[in-house]
Amino acid sequence: MVATQTPSQKSTSKAGLRTAAVQQMAGLQRLLFELERAFIASATTAVPRVGEPELKYLICQHVWESASHGRFLRERGREMTGFGKSDTIRPEIWRAFHEATLASDPDALVAGFYRVIKPYILDSYRHYLEATHHLADWPSRRLVEEFIGDEERAQTEIEPWLKTSPEIEAWCSHLTLTVGTLGRPDGQAVTPLPTDFVWLQSEQPYSHPDTCNRAPYPVCSSVFSEDPKETPIVRAWLEDPNTDARIIRVLIYVWLMMELDAVDYLSTVFIDTLEAPFDLHHDLARHLWDESRHSQFGFRQLPKHGVDLMTLEHSLDLYNILVQMPPAERYAMMTMEFEAGSFPTKALIMDRVRELNDFEADTLLAFDRNDEQNHVRYGHQWLPEIMKLCGHTEPVEEFVKATQANFAKMAEIHGGKTPHQLSPEQRLTGEKIAAMFA
């Protein structure tokens, strides 16, 4: 079984025999850590492929929870002999998770992760509780008990989104065979693959979709412009002191909802940086969950202010442009350009919204700002690491400047290609938002 062999378990000395029980449990704990790492890097590929915002939000939440599990597992594991010092995922584990990213459609993709991959992780946690001593390994048990609760809740939360069809069942059967190559959590032997089994990754490895899915919502290139008859967010209005604060509040909620753009393109960075330190993926997962929450701020508040979400087109330009760029450039544009550059305008917006004595709006905007400040800090910390993974040795400032120039070129090629799906009469525009408060 994969779980019983870790990179550091080589000792056959008397000292090693004395700690054999610890090493055995450290091996199981190492498996749990690597399973969570692999889930984070693979499940994020589902985010741009599923359409419903609520489902994107849920997957982001589960990825963040897996990152939290992984962090605590590593901290506890390093207290135990035999856990190992590296953060790497063994190739045989990653092979099974890589295969899970290759489903032909979003419904099968989600079903594979939650009917095959997640149950294997849950069974592995349950086996740990059965195998370890309730008192000797009490710190680990307490962690694992909490994580089992999270996994069981995740299965309940995802259930309404899981669909069934012959194609989906066939895909789940295929993935069950791949997971069988890892061995069963209780230590039984691996399940041999059928002689006619074909690993899809051997024929075509994972690649990002050229555009992200937002069905059933209407789409367009951008929600920002200077024309109140064209888009809901009129750039000049955001900083105009004569703009009604109630209009500003709706505009910022539209802006926040469209942070779904960030959710979709940030999710692509994980699998492209598989060799990154775990701490980098941990912070990326937190960043992803934060952006998901920010989008939910708008998604849940706009209907309260009279906006029919089916009239609000979703912008696709940022994903369509950034997915054509390497992961270091995607991350640089996000943290060093978009987020760092948003603070002055968002500060003015916060001041205007405060005029309305809307405690909920003030709270949401305050947390958005706090989170974005952390994200820029993440950028300063992790961009050099992602640059290194991508083979860049130049100074960060030089790289960012070159990336900004490349983004402008990519925008010319890949931006502005998504026509309005709704007519001016149907879609939400700045003009219509202003009319709401006339």
Task: Report the C-alpha gap between 46 and 305 in whole angstroms.
Answer: 31
pLDDT of residue 187: 65
Q: What is the mean pLDDT of the chain?
A: 94
Are 147 and 273 contained in the same domain? no
State yes or no: pLDDT of 4 exceeds 80. Answer: no
Query: Region 411-434: what's the mean pLDDT?
Result: 97
User: Are the C-beta atoms of 322 and 277 separated by less than 8 Å?
Assistant: no
Are 175 and 297 contained in the same domain? no
pLDDT of residue 6: 47
Query: Region 354-361: what's the mean pLDDT?
Result: 97
State yes or no: pLDDT of 355 exceeds 90. Answer: yes
Q: Is residue 53 part of a domain?
A: yes
Helix (H, G, I), strand (E, B) or coil at 69: helix
Tally of domains within the chain: 2
Q: Is residue 167 part of a domain?
A: yes
> Which one has a higher pLDDT value, 398 or 133?
398
Full residue range of the structural domain in which residue 128 is found: 2-202
Are 105 and 191 contained in the same domain? yes
User: Are the C-beta atoms of 202 and 102 separated by less than 8 Å?
Assistant: no
Of 141, 171, 202, which marks where a domain is finished?
202
Q: Of 160, 83, 90, 158, which Cα lies nearest the Cα of 118?
A: 158
Of 157, 174, 202, which marks where a domain is finished?
202
pLDDT per position as a tens digit, 10-22: 445 555 666 788 8
Q: Is residue 214 part of a domain?
A: no
Are 399 and 262 contained in the same domain? yes
Secondary structure element (H or E) that encloses residue 263, with its range: helix 260-266
Tokens of 30: 């190492």
pTM exceeds 0.85, yes or no: yes
Are 195 and 274 contained in the same domain? no
Q: Is residue 211 part of a domain?
A: no
Task: Report the C-alpha gap between 30 and 73 in whole angstroms.
Answer: 8
Instruction: Report percent pLDDT > 90 for the chain.
Output: 92
pLDDT of residue 18: 66
pLDDT of residue 49: 98
Look up the CATH number of the domain holding residue 29: 1.20.1260.10
Q: Is residue 400 part of a domain?
A: yes
Query: Region 425-438: what's the mean pLDDT?
Result: 97
Q: Is residue 213 part of a domain?
A: no
Are 134 and 257 contained in the same domain? no
Are 25 and 125 contained in the same domain? yes
Task: Report the C-alpha gap between 395 and 382 in whole angstroms.
Answer: 14
pLDDT of residue 2: 52
Query: Region 55-71: what's the mean pLDDT?
Result: 98
User: Are the C-beta atoms of 66 and 97 separated by less than 8 Å?
Assistant: no
Are 292 and 422 contained in the same domain? yes
pLDDT of residue 184: 72
pLDDT per position as a tens digit, 212-240: 999 999 999 999 999 999 999 999 999 99
Q: Is residue 212 part of a domain?
A: no
Tokens of 259: 């942070």
How distant is the alpha carbon of residue 170 from its chain centre? 26
Tokens of 341: 């550059």
State yes or no: pLDDT of 3 exceeds 60. Answer: no
Q: Is residue 406 part of a domain?
A: yes
Task: Report the C-alpha gap between 141 and 130 in whole angstroms.
Answer: 10
Query: Residue 381: how many CB atoms within 10 A of its CB?
Result: 13
Tokens of 330: 């995607």
State yes or no: pLDDT of 268 exceeds 90. Answer: yes
Query: Residue 228: how many CB atoms within 10 A of its CB?
Result: 17
Are 268 and 132 contained in the same domain? no
> Which one has a higher pLDDT value, 55 or 85?
55
Of 171, 202, 233, which marks where a domain is finished?
202
pLDDT of residue 183: 84
pLDDT of residue 191: 80
Are 177 and 283 contained in the same domain? no
Are 231 and 361 contained in the same domain? yes
> Which one has a higher pLDDT value, 133 or 48?
48
Are 187 and 230 contained in the same domain? no
Cα angle 27-144-184, degrees, rounded to a multiple of 5: 50
